[in-house]
């Protein structure tokens, strides 16, 4: 910070005092640094473990698998067979399928490569919202698991 003695030119000086502005910026920075950890949300992700080479995966007949297609239809595979439904009927169909299940409610989803990201997220949101109300504002949890394909493998129902 420099101070001018005036020199030869006598007249008004227009030096800008930036000290108050720096003080305000530092206070705002400290406030944001303190409130940021409070505002951050933590999302837990459950990732299935990788199977060993000698370990086999036993397919269960009561597993629900959805395949989202590019034309907007959804192929549902459960223990009784597979059927194709419209996107609009997804919530109602899942309610009927999940009501009879007493175990943990997990739905495996897969999408064709040409399905748009927003459509895939919308389908997964619909699945998460199909849990019924248990009382006292508590909603039954329906888990969504992405079916993992090897690179280059075709989409299978």
* CATH code for the domain of 83: 3.30.420.270
Residue 106 lies in a domain: yes
Q: What is the pTM of this model?
A: 0.56
- In a domain? residue 42: no
Residue range of the domain that includes 91: 64-146
Q: What is the pLDDT of residue 26?
A: 96
Residue 85 lies in a domain: yes
- pLDDT at site 60: 54
pLDDT score at 61: 55
Closest to 141 in 3D by CA, of 133, 153, 150 = 133
Per the model's pLDDT, the better-predicted residue between 47 and 113 turns out to be: 113
CA dist 81 and 62 (Å) reads 10
Q: Give the per-residue pLDDT at 133.
A: 63
28 falls in which pLDDT band (50, 70, 90)?
very high
Examine residue 29 and state whether it is found in any structural domain, yes or no: no
Q: Report d(CA 133, CA 129) in Å as an integer.
A: 10
């Amino acid at each position: 910070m420099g101070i001018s003695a005036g020199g030869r030119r006598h007249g008004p000086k227009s030096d800008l005092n930036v000290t108050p502005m720096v003080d305000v910026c530092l206070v705002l920075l400290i406030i944001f640094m303190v409130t940021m950890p409070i505002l951050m949300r933590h999302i837990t992700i459950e990732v299935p473990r990788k199977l060993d080479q000698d370990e086999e995966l036993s397919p269960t007949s009561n597993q629900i698998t959805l395949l989202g297609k590019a034309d907007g239809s959804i192929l549902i595979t459960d223990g009784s067979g597979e059927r194709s439904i419209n996107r609009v009927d997804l919530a109602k169909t899942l309610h009927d399928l999940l009501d009879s299940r007493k175990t943990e409610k997990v739905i495996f989803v897969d999408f064709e490569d040409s399905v748009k990201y927003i459509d895939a997220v919308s389908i997964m949101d619909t699945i998460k919202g199909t849990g019924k109300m248990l009382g006292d504002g508590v909603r039954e949890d329906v888990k969504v698991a992405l079916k993992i394909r090897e690179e280059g493998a075709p989409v299978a129902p």
